[in-house]
């Protein structure tokens, strides 16, 4: 079952050239992505527009009725694994946060990952205080901390790895 869309939004999984600029602006606006991350976010879209599915990155865009972007998610299978997937990020326009757009995008990513045979969704985030809301978002959505890598991003900035187990086509956690 596809989760219900927040009012006024529609979901799109095709990538358009104009998404690169919109995504860049959105990533900037959230204040949660560093310049390098914003640049990579943009590049992944440019590359997907140029090369298509061969890049291994999939996108979900939450479009407003006027065609502007309220949020988007980027995900894909982890290379060299049988059924692990990475959720690279979810970004939501700060003006629209609190409406369930992030959760809607997350659940739709999970549904598509499960349908594609994925049984684990991995999310990396930072252990810094600023990212407490991000960690809370994933925890409340059923994700658990699989690892905490001290000083990974920088001294004092740990990588916190979340995972959620899915059952292909069922999306029911296999274990705690």
- Under the rule (CB under 8 A), what is the footprint of a copy of itself? 34, 36-37, 40, 78-84, 119-120, 122, 146-155, 157, 161, 163
Residue 12, phi then psi, degrees to nearest 5: -140, 135
Tokens read off for 65: 């009725």
Classify residue 8 by its DSSP letter. Answer: T
Least Å distance between CB 80 and a copy of itself? 6
Least Å distance between CB 29 and a copy of itself? 19
Cα separation, 27 vs 43, in Å, equals 13
Residue closer to a copy of itself (CB basis): 5 or 161? 161
Residue closer to a copy of itself (CB basis): 67 or 168? 168
Residue closer to a copy of itself (CB basis): 98 or 176? 176
Alpha-helix residue ranges (DSSP H) falling in the chain: 19-30, 35-51, 101-115, 132-140
Residue closer to a copy of itself (CB basis): 103 or 159? 159
Tokens read off for 63: 């479009």
Least Å distance between CB 5 and a copy of itself? 31
Least Å distance between CB 7 and a copy of itself? 35
Least Å distance between CB 121 and a copy of itself? 12
C-alpha distances (whole Å) from 7 to each of 65, 83, 110, 115, 126 are 10, 33, 21, 25, 31
| Nearest Cα to Cα of residue 162 among 144, 137, 135 | 144
Residue closer to a copy of itself (CB basis): 66 or 175? 175
Helix (H) / strand (E) containing 150:
strand 144-154
């Amino acid at each position: 079952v596809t989760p219900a869309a927040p009012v006024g939004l529609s979901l799109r999984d095709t990538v358009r050239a104009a998404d690169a600029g919109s995504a860049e602006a959105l990533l900037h606006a959230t204040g949660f992505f560093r310049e390098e991350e914003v640049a990579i976010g943009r590049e992944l879209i440019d590359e997907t527009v140029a090369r298509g599915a061969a890049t291994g990155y999939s996108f979900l865009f939450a479009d407003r009725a006027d065609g502007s972007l309220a949020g988007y998610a980027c995900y894909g299978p982890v290379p060299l694994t049988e059924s692990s997937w990475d959720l690279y990020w979810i970004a939501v326009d700060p003006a629209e946060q609190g409406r369930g757009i992030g959760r809607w995008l997350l659940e739709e990513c999970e549904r598509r990952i499960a349908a594609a045979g994925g049984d684990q969704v991995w999310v990396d985030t930072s252990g810094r205080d600023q990212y407490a809301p991000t960690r809370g978002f994933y925890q409340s959505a059923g994700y658990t901390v699989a690892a905490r890598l001290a000083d990974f991003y920088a001294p004092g900035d740990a990588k916190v790895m979340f995972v959620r187990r899915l059952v292909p086509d069922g999306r029911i956690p296999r274990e705690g």
